[in-house]
Structure 1
Amino acid sequence: MFGGGGGLNPRKMQQMMKQMGIDIEEIDAEEIVIRTGDEELVFDDAEVQRMDAQGQATYTITGEPETRSADDEAIPLGEGDDDAESGTDRIPDSDVDIVAQRTDASPEEAREALDAEDGDLAAAVSRLE
């Protein structure tokens, strides 16, 4: 269809793309993480390209990811401490105040509800209503 030679010359291809306003940049990424509701796809040794065309950026990741369950995520502040207070450090006091005000609960009850609901304000309010 395009004639012999087995494909376009890479330099010619880049010239054509530049004329069309398409710019491709290689990104030196150390790690790429894609999180879904159930799992994480972790690319440790991936090739990443960013293509800008008509004001829209598109990223291409080439490589084989390691799959981890969402439960394997790092714990933000408690870092796995076994004491009962370890999870409370990651719940902001402002969130505790909001839940307590909305439900007329004590700050301690509000914090317990937030801990039980992994910091989800709406779920904590529903839990106390």
Structure 2
Amino acid sequence: MFGGGGGMNPRKMEQMMEQMGIDVEDVDAEEVIIRTSEYDLVFDDAEVTKMDARGQETYQVIGSPEEVESGAAGGADAAGAGASEDAGSAIPDDDVEIVATRTGVSESEAREALEEHDGDLAAAVEALE
């Protein structure tokens, strides 16, 4: 990544990344699912690292996935009428935070409004105001 840094001291690398405004943290993930139109990739006990470079978040997933039928992983409802748990996972936390901050409601109320409006921020805010 930094041209010949393969032998670089990890502490030195961490200091350089901090100076560049890059924060790195491990994510304690139990399972990672990547859904495609053809299949799902399921990583059990994957190593997940989150890198935040000035607001741009990048996730690195290390592990060996199992390829399963599309929609079969994680208890997703293939018909599309998912339980609230599945719908909640489809709403980005950033969107929930935006709606909650804008309207002054709790994050759970904001998430419910976003779910009712299929993730439409403006419609959720309008419904809560």
Amino acid at match of 1:55: G
User: Structure 2: any 5+ residue segments left out of the alignment?
Assistant: 83-129
The C-alpha deviation readout for 1:55-104, integer Å capped at 9, x for no partner, is 1000000000000011635474xxxxxxxxxx8xx49xxxxxxxxxxxxx
User: Structure 1: any 5+ residue segments left out of the alignment?
Assistant: 77-86, 92-129
Give percent identity, aligned residues only: 55
Cα 1:2–1:42, aligned 2, differ >3 Å: closer, same or farther? Answer: closer
Amino acid at match of 2:24: I
Cα 1:43–1:75, aligned 2, differ >3 Å: closer, same or farther? Answer: closer
The structural deviation recorded for 1:11 is: 0.3
The C-alpha deviation readout for 1:23-46, integer Å capped at 9, x for no partner, is 000000000000000100000010
Q: Number of aligned pairs?
A: 77
Q: Tell me, yes or no, if the aligned pair for 2:34 and 2:41 is still in contact at 8 Å.
A: yes
Query: What TM-score, normalized to structure 2?
Result: 0.53
Helix, strand or coil at the partner of 1:13 = helix
CA RMSD in angstroms comes to 2.6
Matched, 1:44 2:44: yes
Amino acid at match of 1:46: A
Query: What TM-score, normalized to structure 1?
Result: 0.53
Whose radius of gyration is greater, 1 or 2? 1
Structure 2 distance, partners of 1:15, 1:56, is 19
* Aligned counterpart, 1:26: 26
**Displacement over 2 Å in runs of 4+:** 71-76
